[in-house]
C-alpha cells in the first residue's frame, strides 16, 4: 500500500529544497527576492513549525506571519521539513487516527485528526509555494517548478537509473 501522507511529506521536503535552491541561485545572480515572496515562504515554514508544536503539544517557536530572511528560511526548513517527514514515516494507524485539540492564531479552538493535519500541512505549503511563484514572476524573476508530478518524475527517473 502506498503511504500517501509519507509521500506528500517527502515531496514537501523536495519542494522546499528546490525553492530554496532557486532563491539562493537568484540572489547569487544579483537578484533581490521580493519581500512578498519571502513573507509567503516564511508563512509556509512557520506553519510547519506551528503544526509540529500542536502535534507534539509544545510551544511554537514562531508566529503565523513572522517574517524571515533567506538564511532564516533555510534554518526553519532544516528544523521542520524533515521533522514532518519523520513524523509521517513513524505514524501508525493509532497515531493517524489520534485527535489533537488546539487553538488557531486568532484563538478559536479546534479538534483535528493527525492524518488530516499531516495532509493539510503539505497541501497548505503547496498552495503558498504557488503564490511565491506568482510573486516571483510578477517581479520579473522566473519561478521554479515545484509541482508534485515533477517530484514524482524525478523520483521515477532516479529509481530507473539505480536499477
pLDDT at residue 85, rounded to an integer: 98
At 103 the three-state DSSP class reads: strand
Q: Is the pTM of this model over 0.85?
A: yes
For the chain, the average pLDDT equals: 96
Euclidean distance between CA atoms 66 and 157, whole angstroms? 37
Identify the CATH homologous superfamily for domain 4-162: dinb family like domain (1.20.120.450)
- 47 HSE (CA, 13 A, CB side): 20
Domain boundaries defined on the chain: 4-162
pLDDT at residue 90, rounded to an integer: 97
Q: What is the pLDDT confidence band of residue 163, given thresholds at 50, 70 and 90?
A: low
Euclidean distance between CA atoms 114 and 3, whole angstroms? 14
**Residue 29: pLDDT above 60?**
yes
pLDDT in tens, 31-60: 999 999 999 999 999 999 999 999 999 999
Chain-centre distance for alpha carbon 33: 19
pLDDT at residue 160, rounded to an integer: 75
pLDDT at residue 159, rounded to an integer: 78
Q: What's the grid cell of residue 9?
A: 511529506
Q: What is the mean pLDDT of residues 121-127?
A: 98
| Backbone φ and ψ of 109, nearest 5° | -90, 140
pLDDT in tens, 53-102: 999 999 999 999 999 999 999 999 999 999 999 999 999 999 999 999 99
Euclidean distance between CA atoms 99 and 97, whole angstroms? 6
At 143 the three-state DSSP class reads: coil
Give the contacts of 138 (CB within 8 A, at least 6 positions apart). 34
Amino acid at each position: 500500500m502506498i503511504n500517501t501522507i509519507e509521500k506528500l511529506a517527502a515531496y514537501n521536503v523536495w519542494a522546499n529544497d528546490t525553492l530554496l535552491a532557486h532563491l539562493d541561485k537568484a540572489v547569487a545572480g544579483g537578484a533581490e527576492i521580493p519581500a512578498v515572496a519571502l513573507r509567503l515562504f516564511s508563512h509556509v515554514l512557520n506553519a510547519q513549525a506551528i503544526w509540529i508544536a500542536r502535534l507534539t503539544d509544545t510551544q511554537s517557536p514562531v508566529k503565523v506571519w513572522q517574517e524571515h530572511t533567506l538564511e532564516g528560511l533555510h534554518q526553519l526548513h532544516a528544523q521542520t521539513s524533515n521533522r514532518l517527514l519523520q513524523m509521517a514515516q513513524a505514524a501508525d494507524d493509532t497515531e493517524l487516527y489520534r485527535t489533537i485539540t488546539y487553538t488557531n492564531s486568532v484563538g478559536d479552538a479546534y479538534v483535528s485528526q493527525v492524518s488530516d493535519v499531516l495532509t493539510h500541512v503539505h497541501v497548505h505549503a503547496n498552495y503558498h509555494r504557488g503564490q511565491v511563484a506568482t510573486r516571483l514572476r510578477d517581479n520579473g524573476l522566473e519561478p521554479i517548478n515545484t509541482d508534485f508530478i515533477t517530484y514524482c518524475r524525478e523520483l521515477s527517473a532516479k529509481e530507473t537509473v539505480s536499477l
